């Protein structure tokens, strides 16, 4: 019986590893949030530069 649960656990681990970025599962990485944060961080210098250029 112990071998059955170990094999079942390995099967579930394999299923999780097949698609780590799926939005269908609660355990997946929130890539949309990561991308949005990166985009906002990268756009900050340009937003600041364009607002000061219009002020002059």
Domain segments of the chain: what residues?
2-55
Task: Render each residue's pLDDT in the chain as its tens digit; 56 residues.
Answer: 789 999 999 998 888 788 777 777 666 677 788 889 999 999 988 777 666 655 55
Model pTM score: 0.45
**Cα–Cα distance measured from residue 20 to residue 42, given in angstroms and rounded to the nearest whole number:** 25
Task: Say if CB 52 and CB 43 are below 8 A apart.
Answer: no
């Amino acid at each position: 019986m112990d071998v059955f649960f170990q094999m079942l656990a390995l099967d579930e681990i394999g299923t999780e590893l097949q698609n780590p970025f799926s939005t269908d599962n609660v355990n997946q990485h929130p890539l949309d949030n990561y991308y949005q944060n990166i985009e906002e961080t990268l756009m900050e210098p340009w937003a600041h530069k364009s607002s000061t250029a219009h002020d002059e």
